[in-house]
Structure 1
Amino acid sequence: MIDYNTIIHQYGENGEKTGWTYVVVPFDVAQEILPGNKKAMRVRGWLDDLPVSGMALLPAGEGEFILALRAEIRKALHKEKGAILRLRLEHDKDFKLEIPADLQECFEFEQPEALAWFNSLSKSHQGYFFKWINGAKTEQTRANRLAATISA
């Protein structure tokens, strides 16, 4: 498990990452978490004293990685850009995405060929679909999102 202090940063204008709040994890530190890895990985541990799991450690170029800090995490930490944050992290080898039961049913009974396509997506893209589906506020919206996912 890595253990070090770092500064919280925030992107200005930076494409899809505009406004993200994050911490930088240098390449050598990321290699302690998962040796030989240069791709996104999931981590667990503590941010200060806040337990976390399943967080995405993303490659940011030139060997560095970033750990994005969502608003609810920053609020729980009572920290923003410029603050010092203690990271104690390790590879979350137990992380699994749970496919929503109704989406699994759609794949199995209505569109089995769509499952092969869906499984070819990266775990992060699958996760985006799961969050999108689970974020529906009405049953009709959820049904529409399920249909859009299996026909994508």
Structure 2
Amino acid sequence: MVQFSAEIARFEKNGEKTGWFYILIPEATAQEIKAGNRQFFRIRGTINGHEFAGLGLIPTGGGGFILAVNAGIRKTLEARLGDMLHLSVEEDTDFEIIIPADLEICLAEDPRLLENFMKFNKANRNYFINWINGAKTEPTRTRRIAMTVEAMELGLDFGAMIRRDKARRQSGEI
């Protein structure tokens, strides 16, 4: 486990990350966690004594990484902007997002659908899975599963599916 301390910061203006709370993991520390890596990866360990797993480190471009500290994590840690966090972490090599049973049943109705879904790399499959799992109501979840099945029929990745849905809504098609 690599141990270090970092302060919670916030992006004031940074594209899609505007408003995010995060901690910066310098290049040297990131290299201790996963040597030779400059791409997104997941970590597990403790933050201020609270256990976490599957947290993603996002590359900053200069060799360092950021760890998003969302509202749920801040609440658990009882932490605010400017607070110092104490971390003990390692790469989370066991992290896995499982295909939800309801999605798998729908995709299994046609072998081509499941095959198209599995052609995507793990990160791209996770976009679909996290989006479906993030639905707050059953009708929303059902609509998202239907959109995912349709995307697999058409061979669309997550971004293309979202753009297609937006265009259809704007045109009044749906």
- TM-score, with structure 2 as normaliser: 0.79
Measured after TM superposition, the shift of residue 119 of structure 1 is: 3.2
Q: Match for residue 10 of structure 2?
A: 10
The reply to whether residue 54 of structure 1 matches residue 63 of structure 2 is no
- Distance, in Å, in 2 between the alignment partners of 1:41 and 1:120 is 20
Q: Which runs of 5+ in 1 are unaligned?
A: none
- TM-score, with structure 1 as normaliser: 0.89
Q: Match for residue 71 of structure 1?
A: 71
- Distance, in Å, in 2 between the alignment partners of 1:59 and 1:121 is 22
The reply to whether residue 88 of structure 1 matches residue 88 of structure 2 is yes
Give the letter aligned to residue 129 of structure 2. Answer: F
- Distance, in Å, in 2 between the alignment partners of 1:2 and 1:11 is 25
Q: Match for residue 139 of structure 1?
A: 138
Measured after TM superposition, the shift of residue 55 of structure 1 is: 0.4
Over 3 Å counting, the alpha-carbon distance change for 1:49 and 1:128 in structure 2 is same
Paired residue secondary structure (2:109): helix
Q: Match for residue 27 of structure 1?
A: 27
Q: Match for residue 36 of structure 1?
A: 36
| Bigger relative CO (Cα 8 Å, ≥ 6 apart) | 1
Could you say what the CA RMSD is over the residues aligned between the two structures, in angstroms? 1.7
- Distance, in Å, in 1 between the alignment partners of 2:72 and 2:145 is 27
- The more displaced of 53-62 and 114-123 is 114-123
Paired residue secondary structure (1:132): helix
- The more displaced of 99-108 and 39-48 is 99-108
Q: Match for residue 126 of structure 1?
A: 125
Over 3 Å counting, the alpha-carbon distance change for 1:119 and 1:39 in structure 2 is farther
Q: Match for residue 101 of structure 1?
A: 101
Q: Which runs of 4+ in 1 moved over 4 A?
A: none
Paired residue secondary structure (2:59): strand
Q: Which has the higher strand share?
A: 1
Paired residue secondary structure (1:61): coil
Over 3 Å counting, the alpha-carbon distance change for 1:102 and 1:79 in structure 2 is same
- Distance, in Å, in 2 between the alignment partners of 1:125 and 1:35 is 24
Q: Which runs of 5+ in 2 are unaligned?
A: 152-174
Write out per-residue CA displacement over residues 5-59 of structure 1, whole angstroms, 9 at most, x where no aligned residue.
Answer: 1111100111110111000111121111111211111100011111100000111
